[in-house]
Amino acid sequence: MRLIRNGTTSILRQLTTAEAESVRRYCGAGMKTEGQDTQVVEAILAEMHNGKEPRYWLECDCRDGEATEQRPRMTARIRGDGPRHFVRIAGRDAHHCVLRSFRTDPSDDDGETEEGGKHRPLRPILDTLDYLDKEHQTGGKRPGSRAAAGNKPGKGRRLPKLGRILYTLLEQAGFSSITTDDLDARNSALRHWDRLERFAIEEEVTDALNLWDLMDTRPWVKASQIMTEVEKLQWPTGKKRMGYLLFVADEVTATDATKFTSLKPAVVTPANPIRIGGRDQNFANPPYWVLAVIDRDDNGVARVREAFAQHAFDKGRPVPLDSSYERHTLALLLEVMGWVKRKGVTVTLKKPLFDSEVTLPDGATAHCRADFELEVSARAGARPVPGRLLIETMGADLQEYLDQKTATHAIMQQRGAIIEHVVRHDSEQAERDDRLRKRVYGRLMALAGMPPSPACA
Ligand SMILES: [Zn+2]
């Protein structure tokens, strides 16, 4: 990244790697900031804006391989008495880096915050009032509530509240697990939609309002129509009128989410760029779950305010996933589940969306979340607890991320044996896949107390 004189290409200076990393953590939606980031970003903004007017632009280097006019740029702005902050320059805002999902500052992502520097485990929404935004809290928040921002040291991404709501819905509806009994039922998703409805009806926000009242699952319904319905409802005071739209999209870009229908495609276009959960953020691997917020803007016009997307395995079985690498692993695990099913073994596969608590050998409590967990049902008179196997997909991620993952394996081992699956799509992938299938099959049969036998015979 570099500072350039406004309206020119003349370079003032290149940002250091550390500065560029601070900007990306600070302004990348869902990123977790580190202690120095606020200070570093404030210093860069002070260089860019002298207090009266902006003098330098920040040019991102994520598209340096392309034409100069493709390079994304940001300017600095001061609004009223507020602090300096970044603003993307219209038409120059298509990043190929994490700034694709932009936030003005970390407080734009509400939801999880750190307490006492400790990682707070990711948990489902428990307080039903949390489904609704506060009256004056939404949309276009400016810096100023910085004290609330997570500036504590830490790594990894912070899940925005909308993502936490999506995970809660998918988990409660059962979309995140598959049993060997479900394997042949390609339409098991239908059952999950019913379960979603039941769950949302039971989520009573007030005596007169439940979550299902403000939810729609039809992307072709217009925002204005959804808001008209929402406005007929009795609403808790201090909460903003809003609705949720949940569906599986066939295509997602930073600007819109599309579902193909037998008529014309239904396109949902939020006012803000679409954010994606998980690590694989390039929108290139549909289908995706999409949860969108519908409300009215400052002028009273109904709109899709924002949306959050998450990989889904496939349309018939939209198991939420973190990456396309995990999709590759899951396809293999489903094959193995088919094999053990033929041997009469019942297995439940779970894609954990929230953290599990484990007790370490020294008695301390820790949290972890494996990519997949396979549980073998306890047989009558056999082991008292279900046997569990954890599967970790090691995709072509950043080394830092893989190191982090290895570090958490010590914690995960308290929940079950871990099998790693490296996905690189190189010439050795078929061999790795074969090894995974055989190892998982062998372990599952052992957990079920069955004698070992040749895998797919
Ligand atoms: Zn960029």
- pLDDT for residue 14: 96
| Cα(21) to centroid(ligand 1), Å | 11
Higher confidence at residue 278 or residue 334?
A: 334
Query: Which of 98-107, 149-158, 408-417 is least confident?
Result: 149-158
Regarding pTM above 0.75, the answer is: no
| Cα(72) to centroid(ligand 1), Å | 6
| Cα(412) to centroid(ligand 1), Å | 34
| Cα(17) to centroid(ligand 1), Å | 13
pLDDT beyond 70 at 114: no
Banded pLDDT at 47 (limits 50, 70, 90): very high
C-alpha–C-alpha distance, residues 368 and 359, integer Å: 11
Q: Quick check: 400 and 371 in contact, CB under 8 A?
A: no
| Cα(258) to centroid(ligand 1), Å | 25
| Cα(423) to centroid(ligand 1), Å | 26
| Cα(147) to centroid(ligand 1), Å | 27
- pLDDT for residue 208: 87
Banded pLDDT at 304 (limits 50, 70, 90): very high
| Cα(26) to centroid(ligand 1), Å | 13
Instruction: Give residue-wise pLDDT tens across range 245-260.
Output: 999 999 999 999 999 9
Eight-state DSSP code of residue 142: P
Tokens of 143: 């810096």
Banded pLDDT at 42 (limits 50, 70, 90): very high
pLDDT beyond 60 at 455: no
| Cα(62) to centroid(ligand 1), Å | 4
DSSP bridge pairs for 302? 296
How many CB atoms sit inside 10 A of residue 41's CB?
23
Tokens of 204: 């009573």
| Cα(385) to centroid(ligand 1), Å | 49
As a whole number, mean pLDDT of residues 191-215 equals 90
| Cα(24) to centroid(ligand 1), Å | 8
- In order of 55, 74, 169, the CA distances from 312 in angstroms are 44, 33, 14
- pLDDT for residue 179: 93
| Cα(64) to centroid(ligand 1), Å | 9
Q: Quick check: 58 and 1 in contact, CB under 8 A?
A: yes
Higher confidence at residue 29 or residue 221?
A: 221
Tokens of 167: 């995970």
C-alpha–C-alpha distance, residues 369 and 309, integer Å: 20
| Cα(69) to centroid(ligand 1), Å | 13
| Cα(61) to centroid(ligand 1), Å | 6
3-class secondary structure, 195: helix
- pLDDT for residue 82: 65
Q: Quick check: 174 and 317 in contact, CB under 8 A?
A: no
E strands of 15-168, at which residues?
56-59, 73-78, 84-88
| Cα(282) to centroid(ligand 1), Å | 13
| Cα(274) to centroid(ligand 1), Å | 16
| Cα(418) to centroid(ligand 1), Å | 36
CA-based radius of gyration for the chain: 24
- pLDDT for residue 385: 62
C-alpha–C-alpha distance, residues 275 and 60, integer Å: 19
- pLDDT for residue 403: 78
> DSSP for 356-422?
EEEE-TTS-EEEE--SEEEEEPPPTTS-SS-EEEEEEEE-S--HHHHHHHHHHHHHHTTTSEEEEEE
| Cα(294) to centroid(ligand 1), Å | 28
- In order of 191, 314, 317, the CA distances from 187 in angstroms are 8, 12, 8
Instruction: Give residue-wise pLDDT tens across range 55-113.
Output: 999 999 999 988 888 899 998 987 655 678 888 876 787 898 989 888 877 766 644 44
| Cα(73) to centroid(ligand 1), Å | 8
Query: Which of 147-151, 277-281, 407-411 is least confident?
Result: 147-151
| Cα(71) to centroid(ligand 1), Å | 8
pLDDT beyond 60 at 384: no
Residue type, 48: M
Q: Quick check: 332 and 421 in contact, CB under 8 A?
A: yes
pLDDT beyond 90 at 222: yes
pLDDT beyond 80 at 186: no
| Cα(101) to centroid(ligand 1), Å | 10
Q: Whole-number mean pLDDT of the chain? A: 85
As a whole number, mean pLDDT of residues 406-413 equals 84
| Cα(63) to centroid(ligand 1), Å | 7
Under 8 Å CB-to-CB from 26, ≥6 apart: which residues?
33, 37, 38, 40, 41, 105, 106
pLDDT beyond 90 at 434: yes
| Cα(447) to centroid(ligand 1), Å | 47
C-alpha–C-alpha distance, residues 59 and 97, integer Å: 12
Banded pLDDT at 386 (limits 50, 70, 90): low
pLDDT beyond 90 at 281: no
Q: Give the end-to-end CA distance of the chain in Å, rounded to a whole number.
A: 56
Q: Quick check: 437 and 335 in contact, CB under 8 A?
A: yes
| Cα(331) to centroid(ligand 1), Å | 33
- pLDDT for residue 453: 63
- In order of 54, 63, 69, 335, the CA distances from 6 in angstroms are 8, 19, 14, 57
DSSP bridge pairs for 85? 77
Banded pLDDT at 155 (limits 50, 70, 90): very low
| Cα(3) to centroid(ligand 1), Å | 13
- pLDDT for residue 401: 73
As a whole number, mean pLDDT of residues 313-328 equals 93
